[in-house]
Structure 1
Amino acid sequence: MMSTSLPLLMEAEQLTKLLATDEHKLLILDTSSAENHAKHHIPGAIHIEPKALQCGTPPYPGQLPSVEQLTEMFSRVGLSDDKHVIAYDDEGGGWAGRLIWTLDVLGHKNYSYLNGGLAAWVNEDHPIQTSINTAQASDYQVTIHPAPIAEVEDIIPNLGTDNFAIWDARSAGEHNGSKVLTKRGGHIPGAVNIDWLELMDRDRNMRLVNLEQLQQRLDALGLSKDKQIVTHCQTHHRSGLSYLAMKILGYPNIKGYHGSWSEWGNREDTPIAND
C-alpha cells in the first residue's frame, strides 16, 4: 500500500519534524559507507551495507540478491508492511535509489528519499547520532515482484521500437567504448547516455537537480513518460539514481536492468554499438 501522507521526495526539514512525533512508523535506512555511518547518522537510522543490496557474484555482481539474502537483510533491519522507509546515502542517491528499487521488487511501496541524503542533513546542522542502532528484528517474508526488473530478454526484442527507451547512467567514456570494464565496451543500441553525476546539485548539498529542467531534458532526448524506460549502469548502482529520479518525476513504466553492463558487456549474444 502506498503512503499518501508522506512525500516520495522528502526534505531534511520535513524529516526533522517527523522525528519529533510518533505519527508515522518510520524505518530510517542508511546506505552510506560503514565509515560514514559510524561517524554520524540520522537519529534512529539503521545501516545497510550498500553492497548487500547486490548479489556480489561475478561476473554479474549487481544482480538482485537471493531470496534468502533479502529475507535475512530486511528481517534484520526490521522491515514490515506498516513501516514507512526513509532511504538515504552519502553519495547523492545511487545506493538509496538502489534500495528503493529493491523495495519496489519486494512490493513495499511505503518509502521516501531524503533529498541530499547525509550531505544535506549534516551540512545544514540537523541532529546527528554517533551510537549504533540495532533494530527490533522482524520476520519479513520476501515476495519477488518482477515488474521493476529488466532482464536481457526484456530488452533485446524491444530495441528500436517506438515505445521503448534505455537510459545509460554510466560515464560518457563507458558509453562510447573508450573506457572498457568488461569483455566488450560500448552501449546498448539506441541507449541514451546521461551520467548519474549530472543528476546531483553540488551547490545544494547533493540534492537532485531542478526536476522541471530535468524533465525537459529527458523529453528532448526521447526518455519521455509515455515509453517504457529501462535504466542501467555497470552494476545497477549508479542507475539506482536514474531509476529514483524517474520515480519522483512520476514515470509509470520503468525498470532497472540489474545485470547492467557487467552482464551485457560480458555476454557474446548481446548487440553493442559504439557510435
Structure 2
Amino acid sequence: MKNTIVSIHWLKENYLDKDLIILDASQQVNQTKVITELLDIQIKGARFFDIKNDFSEITNPLPNTLPSPEAFAKAARKLGINSTSKIVIYDKLGIYSSPRAWWLFQIMGHQNVWVLNGGLPAWTKENLPVEKIVKNDYEIGDFESNFNSEMVKSKEQILNNIDSKTALLIDARSSDRFYGETEEPRAGLRSGHIPGALNIPYTELLENGIFLSKEKLAAVLPDQEKPLLFSCGSGVTACINYLAYEIIGNTNSKAIYDGSWTEWGQKKNHKSN
C-alpha cells in the first residue's frame, strides 16, 4: 500500500494493530476561518500531534517552521512513537493540517505514515469510536530521524529557481490571494505571488474535506516533467498539494518552500507579481 492516504474503513479494520498509532494533527486556529463542532473530541486512543509547538521550531519568527531532526525525534519519542510504528494522521477539518504532519514524518525518513482521508468529520459521520480529549503520558518510543534535506527549500533556492526555471513552483493559496485581489490574512505581508508560480488552490483538490479520486486529481494536476516545489501561506496547505501528487503516483522530485508567502511577502527585495 502506497504511503499516502487511508480510508476510515481501513482504519476501522486495522484499529487494533499493536503497531498502529493514531495522531490528531488538528490546529486550534486556521487561516481558512473554518469553525468545527468537533473541538473537544478525538478518535478513541488518538495522541495529539502539536504542530505549532512540539513539531515546529518555535524560536523562528515564521510560523510552522520545520524543526531540527533531533527536536522532532525527541517529540516523537515522547508520544510513544517507535521506528516500527504505523502512523495514521487526521485533523478535524477533514484535510487541512494532517498532510503537514505526514510530510514532517516523510522528511524525517519515516515511511509507514498515512493521512486519514476525510479526517474526524468522516470518522464521526460513520459513528465510529470517539472520546473526550484527554492528556496522557506514553512510554518513551525509540523513533530516530533520518532527515532528507532535498524535501525542503529555502528562500534563496526559490529565488534562484525564478531565473533557472529548473522546477515548477505550485502555490496552494486561494486565487484571490495569489493574484493580489485581497489582503493577506497575516498583517504586514504584500499581496501577490512569486514570479513563475502556478496557482492550484488546495481547495480544488478536495470535496467536503476528502481528496478527489485519483482520476480526478490527475485531471486537475498538471503533468510536469520538472521537479515540483510547493508553497502556500505558511507551509501547511502546500503539503496538501504535495500529497495530492503522491496520490496520483507522480515520481518527480518534490520539496516544500517552508517559509512560503509569510517569508517571501515580507521581503521587500524579493520579486513578486
Normalising by the residue count of structure 2, what TM-score does the alignment of the two structures yield? Answer: 0.85
Question: SS of 1:50's equivalent?
Answer: coil
Distance 2:263 2:165 in 1: 25
Output the CA distance in 1 between the equivalents of 2:164 and 2:249. 22
Q: Which moved more, 1:41-50 or 1:62-71?
A: 62-71
Q: Mapping of 1:1-275 within 5 angstroms?
A: 4=1, 8-22=4-18, 25-33=19-27, 39-52=40-53, 53-57=55-59, 59-130=61-132, 132=134, 133-159=136-162, 164-178=167-181, 179-180=183-184, 181=186, 182-202=188-208, 206-219=209-222, 224-252=223-251, 253-273=253-273
Structure 2 letter corresponding to 1:242:
N
Q: How far off its partner does 1:73 sit?
A: 1.5
* CA-based RMSD: 2.4
Distance 1:114 1:183, change over 3 A: closer
Amino acid at match of 1:60: L
CA 1:58 to 1:265, structure 2 compared with 1: closer, same or farther past 3 Å?
Answer: farther
Q: Provide the secondary structure at the position in 1 that maps to 2:250.
A: coil
The runs of 5 or more residues in structure 2 that have no matched partner are 29-35
- Would the alpha carbon gap of residues 36 and 72 (structure 1) be closer, same or farther in structure 2, given more than 3 Å must change? farther
Q: Which of the two has greater helix per residue? A: 1
Deviation of the 1:230 alpha carbon: 0.7
Question: Cα gap change, 1:235/1:211 in structure 2, threshold over 3 Å: closer, same or farther?
Answer: same
Could you list the per-position Cα deviations for residues 12-64 of structure 1 after superposition, in whole angstroms to 9, with x for gaps in the alignment?
01110111444xx1111111246978732222211112313332445422321
Please list the CA deviations of residues 207-249 of structure 1 after superposition, one character each: whole Å capped at 9, or x if unmatched.
1123312211222xxxx24221111111101212112212222
CA apart distance, 1:65: 2.0
Gaps of 5+ in 1: none
> Which amino acid letter does the alignment assign opposite residue 126 of structure 1?
L
For normalisation by structure 1, the TM-score amounts to: 0.85
Change (3 A) 1:131 1:54: closer
Aligned mates of 1:249, 1:27 — CA distance in 2: 25
Question: Quick one: percent identity of the two aligned structures?
Answer: 28
Residue identity opposite 1:264 in structure 2: W
Contact 2:235 2:258 in 1 (8 A): yes
SS of equivalent to 1:159 = helix
Deviates further, 225-234 or 34-43: 34-43
Partner SS for 1:82: coil
Contact 1:233–1:239 (CA under 8 A) maintained in structure 2:
yes
- What displacement does 1:162 show? 6.0
Deviations 1:149-175, CA, capped at 9 Å, x for gaps: 011232222226565211111122221
- Three-state SS of the structure 2 residue aligned to 1:94 is coil
What are the Cα deviations for residues 84-124 of structure 1, in whole angstroms up to 9, with x where unaligned? 11011112322111111111211111111110010100112
Deviates more, 1:47-56 or 1:7-16: 47-56
Q: C-alpha separation between the residues in 2 aligned to 1:263 and 1:7? A: 30
Moved segments of 4+, more than 3 Å: 33-38, 56-59, 66-69, 139-143, 160-163, 180-183
Q: Is residue 160–residue 190 contact of structure 1 (8 Å, CA) maintained in 2?
A: no
CA distance in 2, matches of 1:37, 1:47: 14
User: What is the aligned residue count?
Assistant: 260
CA pair 212-143 structure 1, distance change in 2 beyond 3 A: same
